[in-house]
Structure 1
């Protein structure tokens, strides 16, 4: 799946942007007009790219997220169902090889896939706490996986919802209130970067029109022959039709969905009738809600509801992309699928059932192989980009970029558009409106000041006028080159940088502290077993 991106070069595909180095700019800390959607991801990349090439960091996180999804699904199946290797193989395959993963790879949501990979681990940790199995290690695990999923706000919310769902499982271990409190406390601490940025930045004060913009454009989409509900049930239906594997653009998507749901349904009799039902039922209910909920929100009344909610509470803009919440179905789907060999054991040996299910899941989504059909690959920057970044980094001042669009299309990066890489390569902050053009319609971003600078550039403002407006550099990006012009303007140092750094260190400390505790407890348990 990821082989083409593992070679020399950088991941550049729609929302996925990696550069050799990133820095702790105001934008990376959330001190910009835009909503803090990429926190603490940008902070983490800035810190780690100081010692390791940023392109390598992103590749490691991407592969790690997918690996965790498969491994975690197998572990969850073994924990709940005592599934042997056949069931674990099916769970791992379904978790990794599905339309949701393919579409999010094509959209460039590598960091969301890190959170996706943490979900079965969160579920396993909560189930252990509730049933009293290795509770000390499970407590560290719960905090660690919630913090790891918190690389993005959406990942954190997904992990928290899984944790709170699994609290409903009956058991004689930790009480429900205690487990829920632990999960909530970990989530609040992990959310400190973007909560702090939202409270002191401009995101909370964004206009109602900007906060609710694009709700129709980002709604879940129906695939051929399936309708919206069927597409979501098959773990597909992303809003962007261009970020869809070719096999999902024809009626073949119907066959693929039937096969995927058939594998899941095959195991339902076991997970609903055996004693394991008390642990599987909450995750199965969550899976149903994760499919039906976004489908309802994609209807006319549902879109009106979301728009009203977002206008009332701008922070609910996270609901715009409804299909991403289908990730919540993965733990329940994989548990049911892992039980398929038990259901079919009278007709087929367990190993044969596992082989048949795994081959079928892969066969109906063949273009997920080799970087989703070669669309996701490593890209090399032209030499001019490194030279331009070095020139600006030697004198970091606010940067205005032409053309003004957020998305770029370069012949050297492939046919798909990509977010402008320059803001992630500079010590200086880059003026960005955040405006997106979707199907001919412009979805406005939150960059009010950046939009004013953009209007000045387009109208032919003089260098002195730009300098007076705070522009330090103007960069003109063409298909093969980058032209840099020094303007000389500057901007006052942003306030609250120290506070945002502390907020990010809270998240990082939670992640590292829980990770160390988890490893130490795992080592102790291993020594006791000896």
Structure 2
């Protein structure tokens, strides 16, 4: 391979990295990501909650297991920030790779268009603001999954299988990411090819999905988190219409998240309308060049489904049907947040954006088309830059947090927390609310109801025992009753507003172990009853199965890629795992 060819090979990944850093630049500073659902702490542990055996549904598996595994060596703040950057980077680079696979005549210019659309869009901005860092890792894997399956349809080599397994398993860092990857992979099984047959390809994908899902499937079977909650909260999590756009238009523009506060400023005004038209215009220009390519059609159909189904689910009949399903089968509560499934549109959108270069080739040079398209996509979402205009920035914990965590870890037992809200709002953590960091910082189980207040309406969580303890505290119950409920400690997070009721009557009768302006720690002395050793062992084994699947597949794919690069006669682009 010539030096010039080697240089060209790194244009798209280099550009994707620049885009990712432009979005996440504030995260390069020291500190911890603490924003709404994103909670990073210096250290995590293999608690029952981290293994999915607590009262809450196992939504954060296997990401919590991974953090507990890695943070004894690497600071948790560094790990989470690195994964955020990696997810966005992979989205851009992967979109370029997918475009090179399906529209090779678009060249480097088309690949740069695809990378820009995959990174610079409302979906990335809104999920960043909501704190869904692990979902962004899964999002970044989607174009890689598509490319790997398409290549597998042309070649049944072991390395192709390894790539499919690796990318699906990596997307499985969170259940939603795994389901997104599974749908993309199964859609790409439909592309024409002379390699692995469709039935074998589909069977391999489903087997991989089951292996990657084993952590949360096992935890769901053995834990208590899938009991019916008083309300499924379907309406609260439905996709939302943006100014000048209906719900369908917002979703088609890759926006419309349920939380109106987790939206970049440019999408809260009428500017959202022209911004969406520009994004859809770039996609529409490329459609004539790809509609007749059979290998692209499955992704285009999937893009349409990824927009239309969440839009239908946000209608009256759709909400009623989804509510009935969630009440009957609580495990499918993962479907409530309809807008996150719009990620399925990204691979098809990216390929169509790349094809715009082909469509306009007779009128504009590819470089000019790419330059105009890239500038347009960035210009209509200017506040995605620099951490969504500085809203996604790391913070530093006050010293009290480390001190209290150390005291609890010396004698782990269930922890009750005041005030009685699941979300916190600390002056040192910025204006946005955040999930309580304590459950992810200590060895003990922190009792959390999981209740969420949205626009004045409370969506109850699964924490029944935590709710009983909370009522006991707010009513000023006796320390003996708290201890009898298995509570070992009470933490008062005085830096956050919220309800404390008559808890001071209880606290006055408890020995205070620590206090400063941020936190107060009281000893109760109750003995906790956690998950059984058998359940912990089974879930731990399931997580190791996922980790070994990921590691083995990644090693095989990487080794094969290195061998291909070293072949002196190779003139084709290398295939990353």
Return the TM-score normalized by structure 2. Answer: 0.89
C-alpha contact 1:21 1:46 (8 A) present in aligned 2: yes
Give the structure 1 partner of residue 288 of structure 2: 269
Q: Give the deviation of 1:171 after TM superposition.
A: 1.2
| 3-state SS in 2 of match to 1:278 | coil
CA deviations over 1:180-215 (Å, ceiling 9, x no partner)? 1111001000001100011111234x12x54x5210
Secondary structure at the aligned position of 2:458 is classed as strand
Superposition pairs of residues 38-437 of structure 1, within 5 angstroms = 38-82=60-104, 83-132=106-155, 135-204=157-226, 206-207=227-228, 209-210=229-230, 213-273=232-292, 277-437=293-453
Partner in structure 1 of residue 493 of structure 2: 477
Shift in Å at residue 102 of structure 1? 0.2
Q: Secondary structure of the equivalent of 1:378?
A: coil
Q: In 1, Cα distance between the equivalents of 2:522 and 2:529?
A: 21
Q: Does 1:16 align with 2:26?
A: no
Among 20, 24, 27, which residue is 1:5 paired with? Answer: 27
Q: Distance in 1 between matches of 2:323 and 2:264?
A: 29
Helix, strand or coil for the counterpart of 2:492? strand
| Cα distance in structure 2, aligned partners of 1:182 and 1:520 | 21
Q: Pick from 450, 458, 461 the counterpart of residue 474 of structure 2.
A: 458
When the two structures are aligned, how many residues end up with a matched partner?
A: 523
TM norm structure 1: 0.97
Contact 1:128 1:135 in 2 (8 A): no
1:148-175 CA distances to partner (integer Å, 9 max, x unpaired)?
0000000000000000000111111100
| Alignment correspondent of 2:498 | none
Q: Which runs of 5+ in 1 are unaligned?
A: none
SS of the aligned residue for 1:391 comes to: helix
Checking the alignment, whether the CA contact within 8 Å between 1:61 and 1:111 is kept in structure 2 is yes
Deviation per residue, 1:375-401 (Å, 9 max, x gap): 100100111111111111111111000
Per the TM alignment, residue 527 of structure 1 is displaced from its structure 2 partner at its CA by 3.0
The 8 Å contact of residues 473 and 487 in structure 1, kept in 2 or not, is answered as: yes
After superposition, what is the alpha-carbon deviation per residue over 1:443-480, rounded to whole angstroms, capped at 9, x for unaligned?
00011101000001101112222111100010000115
Report the secondary structure of 2:43's partner residue: coil
Shift of 1:79: 0.9
Do the aligned partners of 1:79 and 1:124 also contact (CA within 8 Å) in 2? yes
Compare 415-424 and 519-528 and name the one that shifted more: 519-528
1:200-254 CA-to-partner distances (Å, cap 9, x unmatched) read 11234x12x54x5210000000001110000000000000000011100111000
Mapped partners of 2:489, 2:86: distance in 1: 37
Q: What is the SS of the residue equivalent to 1:519?
A: helix
Q: Shift in Å at residue 136 of structure 1?
A: 2.4
Q: Deviations over 1:349-398 (max 9, x none)?
A: 11011011001000000010110011100100111111111111111111
Cα offset, 1:525, TM superposition: 2.2
User: What whole-Å deviation, never above 9, does each CA across 1:104-160 have from its counterpart, x for those lacking one?
Assistant: 00000010000000000000011001122x732221010000000000000000000
CA distance in 2, matches of 1:442, 1:6: 36
Counterpart residue number, 2:529 = 492
CA distance in 2, matches of 1:108, 1:433: 20
Please give the alpha-carbon distance, in whole angstroms, between the structure 2 residues aligned to 1:349 and 1:526.
Answer: 31
Q: Is the 8 A contact 1:12 1:18 kept in 2?
A: yes
Q: Secondary structure at the match of 2:235?
A: coil
Q: CA deviation at 1:528?
A: 3.4
SS in 1 for 2:118: helix
Could you tell me how far apart the structure 2 residues matched to 1:328 and 1:382 are? 40
In structure 2, the partner of 1:509 is 548
Partner-residue secondary structure (3-state), 1:242: coil
Find the counterpart in structure 1 of residue 560 from structure 2. 521
How far the C-alpha of 1:529 sits from its partner, in A, is: 4.4
CA RMSD of aligned residues (A): 1.0
Structure 1 range deviating more: 491-500 or 433-442: 491-500
Report the Cα distance in structure 2 between the residues aligned to 1:250 and 1:195, rounded to whole angstroms.
42
CA separation in 1, counterparts of 2:24 and 2:204?
35
SS state at 1:91 partner = helix
Per-residue deviation at 1:404? 1.6
Structure 2: state its 5+ residue gaps. Answer: 1-22, 496-516, 570-577
**Partner SS, residue 243 of structure 1:** coil
Secondary structure of the structure 2 residue equivalent to 1:484: strand
CA contact (8 A) 1:215 1:303 kept: yes
Please give the alpha-carbon distance, in whole angstroms, between the structure 1 residues aligned to 2:195 and 2:379: 42
SS of the aligned residue for 2:491 comes to strand
